[in-house]
């Protein structure tokens, strides 16, 4: 019987995106706080060391989230990022420009962190010059988040990203308004530029990342796009969307039975594939009963054995779309395959039926914008 992987790919997926989004917010808050402090802002009743401690702790928390974000992105099985791309910008095969901006931002922040740790051994002028890189790392990180993240097209996420832009722009205007230098004319021009930054970010996003087809323009590999993504930021198959050399991509009918065991925690679906390469399919799902009825699937695995082959494809559940269960399957000596089982009846029930899409996407979902991966 197949076993569920120790690490649920969906957990990596959401953790990578959540850590990236929270990291952007922390970087924004920390940078805004630093700019405000430099401008003479100080909350009443707060000792100076408390404000400075908050500034430092926000930076330390951002470092922790940065590590989580990088590690989960690398462990995410849906996109081919590569560990080398963590240190060297613009070398990843997945969205090289936008992912490279994230690497560049990381490198800039690393320089700030290292020099801060060595501050006692550095000249103040050198430390201050390197510390200015923190200001440059923020817009680079923002471009990475908006350009790479498949979540940008979700309304709430985009509003959150634009709120970060607005907060920092307002802080810069506040700082310039209280500054003695530069000259009034130059200061006024800088304030206008800061006020225009949110509008520029909105205009660029509307003509780029928010448009259909951005995944392809951004440099998403064809193999990832072929997995039939929905453009919602949810994983939708293995990095390789084609079938192995023994079985071409096909759509076939499936019929079988579903047995619930272990107090409803495990649901096993077994049956035969009629059409295509034929054969047998077994799916094991880990579920939780819902109070309103039905089951919530937390993880799963599948084994498919074609009728004309002795080998078997096996792998884990990587996503769900309605009644569709999406799997990343692998067999010895052949490329990975994206497969989807779309059930056409209530589950669990003693008899189940549906369609198996092996190495191809259901027509309803084909032609989507994004297929896996993100910031």
List, for residues 59-85, the tens digit of each pLDDT value.
889 989 999 999 888 887 666 677 888
Query: Which of the four pLDDT bands, split at 50, 70 and 90, describes residue 234?
Result: very low
d(C-alpha 70, C-alpha 141), whole Å: 13
Region 200-213: what's the mean pLDDT? 86
Quote the pLDDT of residue 4: 37
Averaged pLDDT for residues 99-127: 88
Strand, helix or coil for residue 368: coil
Chain-centre distance of CA 299, in angstroms? 19
Which band of pLDDT confidence, cut at 50, 70 and 90, is reported for residue 228? very low
Q: How confident is the model at residue 244 (pLDDT cuts 50, 70, 90)?
A: very low
How far the first Cα of the chain sits from its last, in Å, is 35
Stretch 160-183: mean pLDDT:
90
CA separation, residue 218 to residues 12, 39, 50, 210 (Å): 22, 38, 43, 12
pLDDT at 307: 80
CA nearest neighbour of 356 among 306, 299, 289: 306
pLDDT value, residue 191: 92
Q: What is the pLDDT of residue 203?
A: 93
In this predicted structure, the answer to whether residue 130 has a pLDDT above a threshold of 80 is yes
**Angstrom distance (rounded) from CA 46 to CA 36:** 14
218 burial level (CB within 10 Å; 0-12, 13-18, 19+)? buried
- Please give the model's pTM, rounded to 2 decimal places: 0.61
CA 317/CA 323 separation, integer angstroms: 13
Question: Which pLDDT band, with edges at 50, 70 and 90, does 230 fall under?
Answer: very low
Least confident segment among 66-80, 91-105, 236-250, 325-339: 236-250
Per-residue confidence (pLDDT) for residue 80, from 0 to 100: 66
Burial profile 5-28: b = 16 or more Cβ within 10 angstroms, e = fewer: eeebbbebbebbbebbbbbbbbbb
Look over the chain and give the mean of its residue pLDDT values, rounded to a whole number: 79
**Which carries the bigger pLDDT value, residue 326 or residue 249?**
326
Rounded-to-integer distance, Cα 234 and Cα 368, Å? 12
Mean pLDDT throughout 225-230?
A: 42
- Give residue 73's pLDDT: 85
Residues 6+ apart with CB under 8 A from 300: 4, 283, 284, 285, 286, 316, 317, 325, 327
Identify the band that residue 337 occupies on the pLDDT scale cut at 50, 70 and 90: confident
Is residue 370 very low, low, confident or very high in pLDDT (cuts 50, 70, 90)? Answer: very low
Task: Give the Cα separation of 307 and 225 in Å (integer).
Answer: 29
* 146 C-beta neighbours (distance < 10 Å), count: 25
Give 361 or 258, the one with higher predicted confidence.
Answer: 258
- State both tokens at 86: 């963590």
From 28, 79, 112, 70, select the one nearest 224 (Cα to Cα). Answer: 79
pLDDT of residue 45: 80
């Amino acid at each position: 019987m197949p076993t569920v992987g120790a690490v649920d790919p969906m957990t990596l997926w959401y953790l990578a995106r959540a850590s990236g989004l929270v990291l952007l917010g922390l970087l924004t808050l920390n940078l805004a706080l630093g700019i405000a402090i430099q401008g003479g802002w100080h909350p009443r009743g707060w000792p100076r060391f408390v404000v400075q401690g908050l500034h430092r702790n926000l930076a330390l928390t951002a470092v922790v989230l940065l590590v989580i974000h990088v590690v989960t992105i690398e462990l995410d099985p849906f996109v081919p990022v590569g560990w080398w791309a963590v240190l060297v910008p613009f070398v990843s095969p997945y969205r090289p420009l936008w992912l490279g901006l994230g690497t560049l931002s990381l490198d800039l922040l690393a320089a700030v962190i290292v020099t801060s740790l060595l501050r006692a051994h550095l000249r103040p002028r050198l430390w201050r010059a390197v510390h200015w890189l923190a200001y440059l790392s923020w817009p680079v990180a923002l471009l990475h988040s908006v350009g790479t993240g498949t979540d940008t097209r979700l309304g709430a996420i985009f509003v959150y990203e634009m709120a970060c832009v607005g907060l920092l722009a307002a802080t810069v205007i506040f700082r310039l308004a209280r500054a003695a230098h530069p000259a009034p004319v130059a200061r006024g021009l800088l304030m206008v530029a800061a006020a225009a930054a949110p509008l520029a970010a909105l205009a660029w996003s509307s003509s780029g990342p928010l448009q259909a087809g951005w995944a392809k323009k951004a440099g998403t590999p064809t193999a990832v796009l072929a997995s039939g993504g929905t453009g919602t930021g949810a994983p939708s198959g293995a990095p390789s969307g084609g079938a192995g050399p023994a079985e071409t991509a096909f759509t076939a009918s499936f019929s079988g039975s579903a047995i619930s065991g272990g107090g409803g925690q495990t649901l096993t679906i077994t049956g035969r594939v009629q059409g295509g390469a034929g054969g047998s399919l077994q799916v094991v799902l880990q579920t939780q009963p819902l109070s309103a009825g039905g089951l919530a699937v937390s993880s799963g695995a599948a084994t498919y054995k074609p009728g004309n082959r002795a080998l078997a494809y096996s792998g884990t559940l990587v996503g769900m779309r309605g009644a569709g269960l999406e799997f990343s399957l692998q067999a010895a000596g052949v490329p990975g395959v994206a497969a989807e089982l779309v059930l056409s009846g209530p589950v669990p029930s003693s008899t189940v039926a549906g369609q198996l899409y092996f190495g191809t996407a259901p027509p309803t979902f084909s032609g989507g914008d994004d297929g896996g991966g993100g910031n």
